[in-house]
Amino acid sequence: MQKQSIFQSKLLPYALVAPQLAIVLIFFYWPALQAVIQSFLLQDAFGLSSSFVWFDNYIELFKDPAYFEAIVRTFFFSFAIAVSSLSFALLLAVMADKPLRGSMLYRTLLIWPYAVAPPVVGVLWIFMLHPSLGVLARYLRAAGVDWNPLLDGNQAAALIILAAAWKQISYNFLFFLAGLQAIPRSVFEAAAIDGARPMRRFWTVTFPLLSPTIFFLLVVNIVYAFFDTFGIIDTMTRGGPGTSTVTLVYKVYSDGLLGGNLGSSAAQSVILMVMVIVLTGIQFRFVERKVTY
Amino acid sequence: MANVTLRNVRKTYTGGFEAIKGVNVDVGDGQFCVLVGPSGCGKSTLLRMVAGLETVSGGEIDIGGRVVNQVEPADRDIAMVFQNYALYPHMSVFNNMAYGLRNRGMAETEVKTRVDEAARVLELSAMLERKPRQLSGGQRQRVAMGRAIVRQPKVFLFDEPLSNLDAKLRIAMRVEIRKLQRRLNTTSIYVTHDQLEAMTLADILVVMNGGQVEQIGNPLAIYEKPATTFVASFIGAPPMNLMSMRTEEIKSQLGSAGEAGILGIRPEDFVITDQTPAGGVALPLTVEAIERVGAETFIYGSRAEDEQRVAATPGELPPGEVIVRVPGTEAPAIGQKIRVAAVRQKLHLFSGDGRTRIEG
């Protein structure tokens, strides 16, 4: 059946989508275009003039060992955040899926952290783990841990991973719970009758049947760890100590706005843009294929 | 090979709802027991209790001389076929059937022998490498059966296994299940709401209603002598005509059975005649509707006397309506007045509340 246009005028449909298009063009395409242009320019120290330098900014970046470190660090953070948050969320979802008294309350509470904005998450964890103010830091110290994320880069990294993973657990939990509930109960019952003990049942039935959800969440979590952790890093460590918690996104900010190197910052953001396009592409590809097992 | 005995089995949910109110059933070794009843009568709950998927609130479940109330489903030596088949969607047909064997640590060569044998019996050999989603409904059903038989359990449990199939396939699978069970001679408990399935499959039929057993016995014995009006209207299609016996006319015709409150006559026990058999019952009817199905014809008639209303508790007929089944396609015209009669031996008499059968 042919779908017929119900609009009399040809202009009306365009007029109706115009506001949304304007927002997209002004706030997304225009800055993106600016970034691409900026990435080919080199500014003088006072920002008075700029010259066209072709790919010099990019070449400079790839020669810079600090940039390479940031790439490795970002991948490590992403991996650590995704794995820890996914596995913890899966554990909670499997437990929440059992028919328990008050399970609704339990589930609601587990979803709450998702509503907290990333900078607030950062502040929250700082309050708990700040070396001189933190409540938990005192216990850590009492337990003999030399806890000082303000000086120790590894501890600072652990802190970022912890806070970022914690925030993402809620989101993952929600999808895992929905995924678990989509599996017919009788499949688990059949496995129980077939003599599979709970652990084996999890690894041979639950886990494979959740694999589409796991893959989807893996991509979402990597995107999250790449881009949305900015607020957490900025409130908790500001990239420090030294550069031990500077990720690619944070480097765009610190090189550009703090360091004033707009050309390099723009080149970095163009690289990030390409990465996010690739990741989104993978995700779309995957979402189209509904069944993967 | 094992007997299954249920002794005063009860199930009470945390809310206080009593799903099973004390059930006693004894299924002999190799027998095929069918639990039948309307939805919500507790038949599936009872089966799931035997499987170990529901806890037992009271009484004992005994499989092969061992009380299994506290035994895990895996250790009860049972196999179950689910209504939605519950196949593992990510495993091939072969792995679906092999899963239970591998979990028990069986050697891979033995696993292969058993699965291949089951696949041969169920004509699944050509599709062992396929995934469940690549199979038709009937094939999935057979895989579910295969998964049960490879384990060679003491007891098969079936939870409405045919209700997701179309009518034609349902009949074919029904026969297959019966043949398979006869050949393997494994004690089986089968849950269904379809009285035809129940009649054709059962060695012992258990008719359930409201968490209680209404009647247990041989299917034909139940058909011939239903113990309550519920059983009378549930077993047999179309259902038995049930009518209250307020009018002195019928009471006097029946003579001795003066205390009876409800009279039941199966549609197939009526004959169209002007005579009244001695001790039998005759009813004048006005033909309201005719259903011809080829080999037989159903006549829906309304009775003249308004006060002779149908009083059966689970009655499926509107008041005053009577179904008559006649062989062939010969039938009176709609609106015609006819007279039907049934002989004394074919009358079923029940107490006024429908709970007791009166032999007279």
User: How many domains does the structure of chain A reveal?
Assistant: 1
Asked if B78's CB is within 8 angstroms of A193's CB, the reply is yes
Q: Where are the beta strands (DSSP E) in B160-202?
A: 187-192
A292–B contact, CB cutoff 8 A: no
First to last CA, chain A: 34
Contact A189 B100 (CB under 8 A): no
Strands B281-292 and B337-342: antiparallel
- pLDDT value, residue A134: 79
pLDDT of residue A227: 82
The C-alpha atoms of residue A135 and residue A132 are separated, in whole angstroms, by: 9
Q: What does the pLDDT read at residue B308?
A: 47
Structure token digits, residue B71: 């035994």
CA distances from A106 to A111, A112, A180, A213, B308 (A): 9, 10, 16, 22, 59
Does any CB of chain B come closer than 8 Å to the CB of residue A198? no
Q: Is A273 on the interface with B (CB under 8 A)?
A: no
Does the residue A154 lie in any domain? yes
Long-range contacts of B96-101 (CB under 8 A, 24+ apart): B96/B132, B96/B143, B96/B146, B96/B147, B97/B143, B97/B146, B97/B147, B97/B150, B98/B150, B99/A191, B99/A194, B99/A196, B99/A204, B99/B147, B100/A193, B100/A194, B100/A195, B100/B147, B100/B150, B100/B151, B101/B150, B101/B151
Q: Give me the pLDDT at residue B2, please.
A: 85
The reply to whether A66 falls in a domain is yes
Does residue A106 lie in a domain region?
yes
Contact A293 B82 (CB under 8 A): no
Beta partners for residue B340, in sequence order: B272, B283
Q: Kindly determine whether residue B103 and residue A209, on different chains, have CB atoms separated by under 8 Å.
A: no
Nearest chain A residue to B100 by CA distance is A194
Please check whether residue B2 is in contact with residue B154, taking contact to mean a CB–CB distance below 8 angstroms. Answer: yes
Cis peptide before A241 (omega within 30 of 0): yes
Q: How confident is the model at residue B1 (pLDDT cuts 50, 70, 90)?
A: low
Q: Are A179 and A290 in contact (CB under 8 A)?
A: no
The structure tokens listed for A39 are 């990435």
Task: Choose the weakest-confidence range: A154-168, A243-257, B138-152, B201-215.
Answer: A243-257
CA distance to B88, B115, B148, per residue, from B100 (Å) = 12, 11, 9
- Please report whether residue A29 resides in a domain: no
Q: What percent of chain B stands above pLDDT 70? A: 91
Q: First CA to last CA across chain B, in angstroms? A: 42
pLDDT digit string (tens) for B32-85?
999 999 988 999 999 999 999 999 998 999 999 899 999 999 899 999 999 999
Q: In angstroms, how far is CA A58 from the centroid of its own chain?
A: 25
Mean pLDDT along residues B181-197? 92
The reply to whether residue A191 touches residue B88, judged by beta carbons under 8 angstroms, is yes
A289 contact B CB<8A: no
- From the list B213, B245, B228, B235, the residue with the least C-alpha distance to B313 is B228
State the Cα–Cα distance between residues B103 and B95, nearest whole angstrom: 11
Q: Which residue of B has its CA nearest to A210?
A: B90
DSSP state of A77: H
pTM for the whole structure: 0.78
Structure tokens at A56: 């010099």
Closest-CA residue of chain B to A208: B90
Pairwise CB contact (< 8 Å): B103 & A200: yes
Q: Please give the residue range of the domain that contains residue A252.
A: 56-288
Count of other CB atoms within 10 angstroms of residue B169: 15
pLDDT of residue B345: 85
Q: Cβ–Cβ of A205/B79 closer than 8 Å?
A: no
Q: Quick check: is A18 in a domain?
A: no
Domains plus CATH for chain B? 4-226 (3.40.50.300), 230-358 (2.40.50.140)
Q: Which residues of B touch A293 (CB under 8 A)?
A: 89-90
Task: Give the closest-approach CA distance of A171 to chain B in angstroms.
Answer: 25
Residue A223 forms part of a structural domain: yes
| Per-residue confidence (pLDDT) for residue B310, from 0 to 100 | 42
Q: CB B151: neighbour CB atoms within 10 A?
A: 23
Which of A185, A188, A194, A210 is the best residue to mutate to test the B interface, defined by the most B CB atoms within 10 Å of its own CB? Answer: A194
**Residue A41 belongs to some domain of the structure:** no
What string of pLDDT tens digits covers the 293 residues of chain A?
455 667 777 888 888 999 999 999 998 888 888 888 877 877 766 666 777 777 777 877 888 888 888 888 898 989 999 999 999 999 988 888 877 777 778 878 888 888 888 788 888 888 888 877 778 878 888 887 777 777 777 888 888 888 889 888 989 999 999 999 888 889 999 999 998 888 899 999 999 999 888 888 888 898 888 888 888 888 888 877 877 788 888 888 888 777 777 778 888 888 888 888 888 888 777 766 655 55
Asked which of A63-67, B24-28, B130-134, B151-155 is least confident by mean pLDDT, the reply is: A63-67
CA atoms of A97 and A184, how far apart (whole Å): 12
Measure CB to CB from residue A194 to each of B52, B83, B99 and give the nearest one: B99
Closest CA to B180 of B222, B142, B213: B142
CA distance A167 to B328: 75
Phi, psi at B33, each rounded to 5° = -105, 130
Q: What is the pLDDT of residue A254?
A: 84
Per residue in B310-340, pLDDT (tens digit) is 443 333 455 578 899 998 888 888 888 888 8
Two tokens at A58? Answer: 């990019």
Domain contains A87: yes
- Kind of pairing between the strands at B32-36 and B187-192: parallel
More confident call, B344 vs B186: B186
The predicted structure's pLDDT at residue A91: 92
For residue A251, what is the domain's CATH number? 1.10.3720.10
Q: Cβ separation of B83 and A204 shorter than 8 Å?
A: no
Find where tokens 């999890």 sit. Answer: A202
For residue A190, list chain B residues with Cβ-Cβ distance below 8 A. Answer: 80, 82, 86-88, 147
Task: Report the pLDDT averaged over residues B193-205.
Answer: 92
Q: Which residue is listed with tokens 């690739």?
A: A278
Query: Which of A34-48, B164-178, B212-226 has maximum average pLDDT?
Result: B212-226
Between B190 and A163, the more confident residue is B190
Which letter does DSSP use for residue B9 in this model? E
ipTM rounded to 2 decimals: 0.82
- Mean pLDDT in residue range B94-99: 93
Q: Write down the number of H helices and E strands in chain B.
A: 9, 19
Query: What was the pLDDT predicted at B226?
Result: 93
